[in-house]
Structure 1
Amino acid sequence: MGREFIPLFDEWAEFYDETVSGQDAEYKDVFENYEGILKLVAQKSKGRVLEFGVGTGNLTEKLIGLGREVYGVEPSKVMREKTKARFMNLELYDGDFIQFPNLPGKIDSIVSTYAFHHLTDDEKDTAIKLYSEMLETGGKIVFADTVFLNERDRNERHRIVKEQGYENLLKDLQSEHYTTLEVLKQIFEIHGFQVNFEKLNSYVWVMEAVKENKK
């Protein structure tokens, strides 16, 4: 459920915003157009929003700016403290994509950026099934994350990163649970979603899934 990465994010919290701003050369392409990606995800959301992997609150800021009512879920205590300092009135919970407290209201959208890859494919399936049960018809999931088109694309990306000498990025791509569009499309459709994908930079795709029927 991604909780094995909590120590990494506790440590990363202090310089996370520097990384996403493009100051780390290895991850510059991953976070290309970071602000635009967050803005797009926020714009595609609607109504009352559940945000997973809040981090330091950068997507949260965009959602609040659009007048969304936001429930935030973040497993890292250090990250939660940073976000709470920015948004004192935010409903912020200790939890992850699958295990989180009961929420006080109905959810219209579920959003996340740069976090869904912390789940294995089986855990992704479990999560989307859960969200299908939570959302009414027309409810939306809007995630942006690094995704590979297929296995050939994954291997090619690994080759490019290795040639660039980006050892830390290569280790992340090989050890974390990045998946393919083929797998994600199947998961969303099995659980009653119509999903569309749009590539936003060399690594990141936005996936917008609309609930078609209540099972």
Structure 2
Amino acid sequence: MGKEFIELFEEWADSYDDSVTGHDIEYKAVFLNYETILTQVAKRSFGQVLEFGPGTGNLTEKLLSYGLTVTAVEPSSSMRKIAIEKLQNRANVIDGDFMNFPESNYQTIVSTYAFHHLTDQEKSEAVASYGKLLASGGKIVFADTMYESVEAYKEAIADATEKGFHNLAEDLQREYYTTIPVLKEILETNGFSVSFEQMNDFVWIMEGAKL
């Protein structure tokens, strides 16, 4: 589940923090309002938090600043190493992925810039498992690139290509970006009420509350 991208995660590890702070022109729009996105995810979280794909630990750090207890599950050994050094043992950063994690009494499940590494079928399987894990009132709060329609997704690829952003265009076609209607159906089918808030031209926050 997303393991096919491990090599890519390893390559990104050393440059990831530069990219999210706007130093990579191709991805500047993707990471626009990055700090606000992290803050919004953290503010919507409560209790014991399970974080998927922490990368270099930026959201983890934000969650900790809100006094939350965090278990962060990261499949990339290089990303994990950076996160562990950054967080100084203030969070439990472990190997795993969206479907391989230690079960516990979590109240919130969070992720940023990672859920698109799963196919729509894998997304559905993952959310089904979270629906069984979370009690009523528990939350899923994911910030990720998603689109209002398939047409909007195709337009994003065409726009990146026209601008000469070939790495971005390649990423948009290689990874499993999906649409808001698909995600809405997945969450509602598994017992969540769901809302979406747009944070930039690429990223939306998807917040699901267990009914």
TM-score (norm 2): 0.98
Match of 1:35 in 2: 35
Alpha-carbon displacement from aligned partner over 1:122-158 (angstroms, at most 9, x marks no partner): 0000000000010000000000000011111111111
In 1, Cα distance between equivalents of 2:13 and 2:164: 25
Alignment of 1:109-120 (within 5 A): 109-120=108-119
The size of the alignment, in residue pairs, is 210
Asked if the contact 2:49–2:71 (Cα under 8 Å) also holds between the matched residues in 1, the reply is yes
Shift of 1:5: 0.8
Match of 1:179 in 2: 178
Match of 1:69 in 2: 69
RMSD over equivalenced CA pairs, Å: 0.8
Q: Does 1:11 align with 2:3?
A: no
In 2, Cα distance between equivalents of 1:78 and 1:158: 29
Asked if the contact 2:74–2:93 (Cα under 8 Å) also holds between the matched residues in 1, the reply is yes
Alpha-carbon displacement from aligned partner over 1:69-125 (angstroms, at most 9, x marks no partner): 00110000111111111222421210000122x24x310000000000000000000
Match of 1:135 in 2: 134
Q: Does 1:86 align with 2:89?
A: no
Shift of 1:31: 0.3
Q: What are structure 2's unaligned runs of at least 5 residues?
A: none
Instruction: Classify the secondary structure of the residue corresponding to 2:56.
Output: coil
Matched to 2:185, the amino acid is Q
Match of 1:209 in 2: 208
Deviates more, 1:156-165 or 1:49-58: 156-165
Match of 1:146 in 2: 145
Q: What are structure 1's unaligned runs of at least 5 residues?
A: none
Runs of 4+ in 1 over 6 A off after TM superposition: none
- Over the matched positions of the two proteins, sequence identity in percent amounts to 52
In 2, Cα distance between equivalents of 1:162 and 1:135: 41
In 1, Cα distance between equivalents of 2:177 and 2:5: 14
Alpha-carbon displacement from aligned partner over 1:49-86 (angstroms, at most 9, x marks no partner): 00000100000000000000001100001111111112
Q: Does 1:189 align with 2:188?
A: yes
